[in-house]
């Protein structure tokens, strides 16, 4: 299943999504509770300054008396204490705000990180097919961005939701305290100002989905400029790639602007409606003041809280809109989690010894529904033998050997180790019994030693030395200043094809698995390197059961059996002597075209 075809159908199913994310929230529940409790006084304190204006103006400015419950407060008392009290409350609010921000960041990072860790574990175990079908950029962006959006914004939104809500409550209390008639008018108008926001939910979801796909494409192109750097320069593709990325970046611009076009008018409209509210309140307030039902202080306090109320209500509206985006992100995260593995690891058996017979029995296989790549393939190989696979390019040779460690599973038929289906073995046990040297040898960034240890983490110094010699790496390593501890890969020295190959051989050798898969590199090495690599391979193949996709004549000569694969069918099978004598045979043709010119190289 491809990621960009997913429709995020669960995005509106809030209950389901909360249930899914809950296991990540649960361990930090207590802190979340504290953060949310802190948010309550944080919001409520917003009303303090507005609240203090009434006694200040009425008593301190206009000289009226002021009662708070049973207490009568004098002018001097209020004039002296209101200013420091305002500062004190602001100080308390500041401390609360700091604690709350710290806690919220701590919580959201913790949640987001544990989602990422689990998600990475899910991704790294996914089938090869997933990596065939989905671009690196898309997977990277979904891996890095969605958990952040899901966790950070969720916590922050709930936090600001509570603060805004309590802030609004506090301010509305001040409004009501001063004049309930005006309060009703003011609040109704303000709430009306924020209704349009609710209408934009769907659009925001759509754009945020498209944005991820385009963002992924940009990352993929960027990755390609790294890995494909030489091809890009060699074929003068810079301009094409530049234009492609430019177009993608433009596309994000268009997407973003289409959203802004639809949402940008919200804010001004809201301001206008809110100002209408204030204008209206002033008109009504004027009458109340003249008729003596409202003091100047109350009016000033009222208008101030109404102005202050704009912010929390706006934030509430924004939060409610954001929440849609957050749930889209959560649903995308869990879609990745729900990706089904096709390679099921349900076997219980261990591959305890080198199998006496490995058999492909009527195996058919296709990478996708459209075309079958292997058709009803059957062959056997005995312990200690070497099977050479030859045939046309694209015929399915690499595919055959990819089925053995179950990078892919057969569509029909069976692969048997001593009559036991390989699906009955534990996957790691099966894979432990096979060493591979691939056509393109991927090495990790790190030292040469690190790369060899991939084959056996706990190898001793002696074991390493042995494989370094057997893979004929010693001569090369001795020329390096840091020897086997030389950094290679992204930030290290560059290696030649032959050197890479020999490191890969050493890595396979130290694994010391009873079965060896060798997808020989087609690229011709020079005479000397060719011979060294050949010797290294001979050492690797010693006493093993070997599947070799042969491009070298010497390998074929040494093979116990050769199978000729043509467009997914085995068309000939036998030893070199047998096959070469089939007049008009495919092998004979292939031999004449591909291998004969190597004769002098092997036989000299």
Ligand X SMILES: Nc1ncnc2c1ncn2[C@@H]1O[C@H](COP(=O)(O)OP(=O)(O)OP(=O)(O)O)[C@@H](O)[C@H]1O
Site for Mg ion, rule CB under 5 A:
398
Tell me whether residue 93 or residue 398 sits nearer to ligand X (CB atom). Answer: 398
**132 in contact with ligand X (CB under 6 A):** yes
Question: Which of ligand X, Mg ion, none lies near 373, with the C-beta cut-off 5 to 8 A by kind?
Answer: ligand X
47 forms part of the interface with ligand X (CB under 6 A): no
Q: Token match 């989690």: residue?
A: 337
CA–CA separation, 349 and 351 (whole Å): 7
Closest approach, Cβ 396 to Mg ion, in A, equals 9
Of 115, 121, 45, the residue nearest 305 (C-alpha): 45
Contacted by 395, from ligand X, Mg ion, none: CB < 5 to 8 Å by type = ligand X
Residues 6+ apart with CB under 8 A from 52: 82, 85, 86, 301
Size of the site for ligand X (CB under 6 A): 11
Nearest distance in Å: CB 564, ligand X: 11
Q: Least Å distance between CB 519 and Mg ion?
A: 6
**Is residue 397 at the binding interface for ligand X, with CB under 6 A as the rule?**
yes
Closest CA to 362 of 411, 320, 399, 398: 411
Q: Applying CB under 6 A, does 405 fall inside the site for ligand X?
A: no
Q: Which stretch binds ligand X (CB under 6 A): 85-93, 107-115, 315-323, 392-400?
A: 392-400
Rounded Cα distance between 406 and 426, Å, is 11
Give the residue, chosen from 147, 285, 395, 455, that forms a contact with ligand X under the rule CB under 6 A: 395
Q: How far is the CB of 395 from Mg ion (least distance, A)?
A: 9
398 makes contact with ligand X (CB under 6 A)? yes
Residue with the two structure tokens 């200690």:
384
Those residues with Cβ within 8 angstroms of residue 343's Cβ, 6 or more apart along the chain or in another chain? 127, 406, 407, 408, 409, 427
Q: How far is the CB of 363 from Mg ion (least distance, A)?
A: 17
Q: Of 332 and 551, which CB lies nearer to ligand X in the complex structure?
A: 551
What residues form DSSP beta bridges with 549?
A: 389, 519
Minimum gap (Å) between residue 369 Cβ and Mg ion:
22
Which neighbouring-strand residues pair with 364? 412
Residue closer to ligand X, measured from CB, 207 or 401: 401
What, of ligand X, Mg ion, none, does residue 179 touch, CB below 5 to 8 Å by kind? none
Residue number of the CB atom closest to Mg ion: 398
> Taking CB under 6 A as the rule, does residue 567 contact ligand X?
no
Q: Taking contact as CB under 6 A, which single stretch among the options 63-71, 225-233, 387-395, 482-490 is the one that binds ligand X? A: 387-395
Cβ–Cβ < 8 Å for 540, 508: yes
Find the part of the chain contacting ligand X (CB under 6 A) among 289-297, 389-397, 420-428, 449-457: 389-397
Contact between 399 and ligand X (CB under 6 A)? yes
Alpha carbon distance 218, 245 (integer Å):
6
Q: What is the CA radius of gyration of the chain?
A: 36
136 binds ligand X (CB under 6 A): no
Q: Which of 47, 396, 405, 498 binds ligand X (CB under 6 A)?
A: 396
Separation in Å, CA 177 to CA 75, 352, 371? 21, 82, 76
The span of 143-151, 180-188, 267-275, 394-402 binding ligand X (CB under 6 A) equals 394-402
Residue 389 corresponds to which tokens in the numbers above? 């696979």
- 387 and 547 in contact (C-beta within 8 Å)? yes
Query: Contact between 394 and ligand X (CB under 6 A)?
Result: yes
- Supply the minimum distance, in Å, between the C-beta of residue 394 and Mg ion: 8
* Closest to 579 measured CA to CA, from 599, 597, 565: 565
Q: Is 373 a binder of ligand X (CB under 6 A)?
A: yes
Q: Is position 209 an interface residue for ligand X (rule: CB under 6 A)?
A: no
Work out which of 239, 393, 479, 604 binds ligand X, going by CB under 6 A: 393
Choosing from 367, 379, 407, 557, the residue that interacts with ligand X (CB under 6 A) is: 367
C-alpha separations of 590 from 375, 397, 556, 564, 579 in Å: 21, 15, 12, 9, 11
| Dihedral pair phi/psi, residue 235, rounded to 5° | -100, 10
Structure tokens at 379: 């062959």
Choose among 594, 515, 516: nearest CA to 551.
594
Q: Minimum Å distance from CB 402 to ligand X?
A: 7
Binding site for ligand X (CB under 6 A): 132, 367, 373, 391, 393-399
């Amino acid at each position: 299943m491809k990621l960009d075809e997913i429709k995020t159908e669960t995005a509106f199913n809030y209950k389901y999504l909360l249930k899914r994310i809950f296991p990540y929230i649960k361990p930090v529940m207590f802190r979340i509770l504290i953060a949310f409790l802190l948010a309550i006084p944080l919001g409520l304190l917003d009303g303090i300054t507005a609240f203090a204006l009434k006694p200040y103006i009425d008593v301190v400015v206009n000289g009226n008396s002021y009662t708070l419950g049973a207490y009568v407060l004098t002018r001097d008392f209020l004039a002296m204490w209101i200013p420091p009290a305002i500062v004190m409350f602001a100080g308390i609010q500041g401390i609360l705000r700091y604690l709350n921000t710290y806690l919220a960041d701590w919580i959201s990072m913790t949640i987001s990180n544990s989602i990422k860790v689990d998600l990475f574990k899910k991704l790294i175990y996914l089938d090869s097919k997933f990596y065939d079908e989905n671009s690196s950029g898309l997977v990277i962006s979904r891996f890095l961005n969605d958990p952040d959006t899901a966790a950070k914004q969720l916590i922050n939104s709930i936090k600001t939701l509570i603060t805004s809500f309590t802030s609004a409550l506090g301010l509305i209390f001040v409004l009501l305290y001063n004049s309930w008639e005006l309060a009703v008018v003011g609040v109704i108008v303000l709430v009306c100002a924020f209704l349009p926001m609710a209408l934009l939910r769907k659009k925001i979801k759509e754009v945020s989905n498209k944005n991820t796909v385009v963002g992924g494409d940009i990352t993929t192109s960027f990755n390609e400029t790294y890995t494909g750097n030489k091809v890009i320069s060699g074929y003068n593709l810079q301009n094409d790639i530049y234009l492609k990325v430019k177009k993608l970046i433009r596309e994000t611009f268009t997407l973003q602007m289409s959203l802004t076009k639809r949402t940008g008018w919200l804010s001004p409209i809201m301001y206008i409606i809110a100002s209408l509210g204030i204008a209206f309140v002033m008109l009504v307030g004027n009458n109340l003041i003249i008729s003596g039902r409202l003091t100047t202080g109350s009016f000033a306090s009222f208008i101030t809280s109404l102005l202050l109320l704009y912010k929390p209500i706006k934030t509430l509206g924004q939060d409610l809109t954001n929440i849609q985006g957050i749930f889209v992100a959560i649903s995308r995260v869990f879609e990745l989690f729900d990706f089904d593995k096709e390679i099921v690891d349900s076997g219980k058996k261990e591959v305890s010894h080198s199998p006496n017979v490995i058999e492909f029995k009527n195996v058919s296989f296709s990478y996708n529904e459209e075309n079958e790549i292997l058709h009803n393939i059957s062959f056997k190989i005995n312990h200690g033998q070497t099977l050479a696979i030859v045939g046309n390019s694209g015929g399915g040779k690499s595919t055959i050997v990819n089925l053995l460690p179950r990078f892919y599973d057969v569509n029909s038929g069976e692969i048997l180790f001593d009559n036991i289906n390989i699906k009955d073995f534990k996957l790691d046990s099966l894979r432990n019994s096979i060493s591979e040297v691939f056509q393109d040898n991927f090495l990790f960034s790190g030292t040469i030693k690190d790369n060899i240890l991939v084959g056996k983490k706990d190898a001793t110094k002696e074991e390493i030395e042995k494989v370094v010699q057997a893979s004929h790496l010693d001569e090369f390593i001795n020329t390096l200043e840091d020897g086997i501890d030389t950094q290679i890969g992204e930030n290290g020295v560059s290696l030649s094809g032959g050197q890479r190959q020999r490191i890969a051989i050493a890595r396979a050798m130290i694994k010391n698995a009873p079965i060896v898969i060798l997808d020989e590199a087609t690229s011709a090495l020079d005479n000397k390197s060719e011979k060294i690599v050949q010797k290294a391979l001979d050492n690797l193949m010693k006493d093993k059961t070997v599947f070799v996709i042969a491009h070298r004549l010497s390998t074929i000569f040494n093979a116990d059996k050769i199978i000729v694969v043509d467009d997914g069918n085995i068309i000939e099978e036998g030893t070199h002597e047998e096959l070469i004598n089939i007049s008009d045979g495919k092998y004979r043709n292939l031999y004449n075209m591909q291998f004969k010119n190597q004769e002098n190289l092997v036989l000299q």
